[in-house]
Amino acid sequence: MQKVLFFAVLMSFPISTFCQTVTLEMLEKSTDPKNELLKEYEAYTASDGYTYKVGEEITTGVPSSNKTFAFLTSELGIVGGNPMLAAAWSGYKMQIKKISVDRNKKRGATVSMRCYLSGIGGILVKFESALTSGEIVGLGMTRDKALSEIKKAKELLELELITQTEFDSIKSECIKYIK
């Protein structure tokens, strides 16, 4: 009986702890997302290098069109109304409630987040598209932040407050975001 119980616990352990964080790299490398990727996750490491977690807040940026957000959709509007989120909702914080992987034969696997925005309710976010278009304010490293970090490090190097090795390390870390 103890062996059976031990085996049952051992077999359930990898399933419950397997991959609670999904990454952009995992999505891109997946050859069979339907079978390789779970449907829901606790966290997502995005293209900006930041790991967004369920329960954290993210901020709406500016719509990619003049009047409405393209990658943020009101769940109430999907049911029976206008699902498009108006530009007036720029700069508002919303809480991440759920992170999931959507699968599509043409687009492959993508990450969607269900968020709660006070005053509207549920918002569906097509995350990478929203992040790269500026509809979501990223919490990780952006091109501008990376350039700023390198410039600051260059000033510190010129003032002899850091070594060339420290500068090179900062530069090599930031350069990948400047493409």
Alpha-carbon distance of 21 to 38, in angstroms, equals 10
pLDDT digits (tens, 9 = 90+) for 82-102: 678 888 999 999 999 999 998
- pLDDT of 61 reads 93
| Cβ–Cβ under 8 Å, residues 140 and 48 | yes
Please state which of the ranges 68-72, 77-81, 172-176 shows the lowest mean pLDDT: 77-81
| Cβ–Cβ under 8 Å, residues 127 and 136 | yes
Confidence of residue 78 (pLDDT cuts 50, 70, 90): low
Q: In degrees to the nearest 10, what's the CA dihedral of 51, 56, 62, 64? A: 50
pLDDT exceeding 70 applies to what percent of the chain?
84
Alpha-carbon distance of 37 to 39, in angstroms, equals 7
- Report strand pairing: 136-137 vs 121-126: unpaired
pLDDT of 1 > 60? The answer is: no
Find the helix or strand (DSSP H, E) in which 3 lies.
helix 2-17
Q: What burial class does residue 2 get, using C-beta atoms within 10 Å of its C-beta: 0-12 exposed, 13-18 middle, 19+ buried? A: exposed
| Average pLDDT over the chain, rounded to an integer | 82
| Cβ–Cβ under 8 Å, residues 70 and 9 | no
- pLDDT of 80 reads 53
Q: Which ranges of 56-134 does DSSP label H, i.e. alpha helix?
A: 75-80, 127-133
pLDDT of 154 > 90? The answer is: yes
| Cβ–Cβ under 8 Å, residues 104 and 83 | no
Averaged pLDDT for residues 6-21: 46
